[in-house]
């Protein structure tokens, strides 16, 4: 019986203002937020919009990577995420991501993690603690320490539960 579980844990910025700083969420869907082309008018076309890749080619479903196994775990709130190569810091880039992807949070490595786990057919979870809101860059409003503390407590409980 395969009992292996890969857990990625990290911080994320929240678009969804119903999430509080320090909340820990279980990511059920990921997408690549800046893989494609930026148009002259500032809009973004994904690799799927550009027809460089089929939006339903494994491991993608409608351009997203979905972790059905994560949806079975209800010990944390579920959230959706977009992975970007930079922390969003301007109103225009934030608005673009919000309009195009309609997700709860942003991070920098979750979609790659989802893709590798799905390609190798591994059980996995991505846990994110909210360290900041996605807004024009203001590091003074971030609470990294609270997010790390809460994330550590959740992970310790998970590990202890796996041991019993």
Q: What number is the average pLDDT over the span 52-77?
A: 94
Question: Could you tell me where the beta strands, DSSP code E, fall in the chain?
Answer: 6-14, 24-32, 36-38, 44-46, 65-66, 78-83, 105-107, 124-133
CB 81 within 8 A of CB 47: no
Report CA 62 to chain centroid distance, whole Å.
Answer: 16
Q: What are phi and psi of 35, to 5 degrees?
A: -100, 100
Is the whole-model pTM more than 0.85? Answer: yes
Within 10 angstroms of residue 152's Cβ, the number of other Cβ atoms is: 13
Question: Would you kindly state where each structural domain of the chain is located, as residue ranges?
Answer: 6-163
Q: What is the pLDDT of residues 91-142, one digit of tens each?
A: 988 999 999 999 999 999 999 999 999 999 999 999 999 999 999 999 999 9
Question: Average pLDDT for residues 59-83, to the nearest whole number?
Answer: 95
**pLDDT band at 1, cuts 50/70/90?**
very low
Q: What is the DSSP letter of 47?
A: T
Determine if residue 42 is left, alpha or beta; phi over 0 gives left, psi from -120 to 50 gives alpha, anything else beta: left
Name the class of domain 6-163. alpha beta
């Amino acid at each position: 019986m395969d009992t292996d579980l890969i857990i990625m844990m990290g911080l994320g910025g929240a678009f969804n203002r119903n999430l509080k700083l320090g909340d820990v969420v279980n990511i059920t869907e990921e997408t690549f937020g800046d893989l494609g082309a930026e148009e002259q008018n500032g809009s973004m076309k994904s690799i799927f919009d550009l027809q460089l890749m089929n939006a339903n080619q494994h491991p993608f479903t409608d351009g997203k990577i979905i972790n059905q196994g994560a949806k079975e775990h209800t010990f944390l709130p579920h959230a959706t995420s977009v992975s970007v190569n930079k922390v969003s810091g301007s109103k225009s880039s934030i608005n673009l991501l919000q309009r195009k992807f309609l997700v709860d949070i942003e991070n920098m490595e979750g979609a790659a993690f989802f893709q590798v786990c799905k390609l190798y057919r591994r059980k996995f979870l991505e846990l994110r603690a909210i360290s900041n809101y996605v807004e024009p860059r203001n590091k003074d409003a971030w609470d990294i320490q609270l997010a790390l503390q809460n994330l550590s407590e959740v992970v310790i409980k998970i590990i202890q539960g796996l041991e019993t």
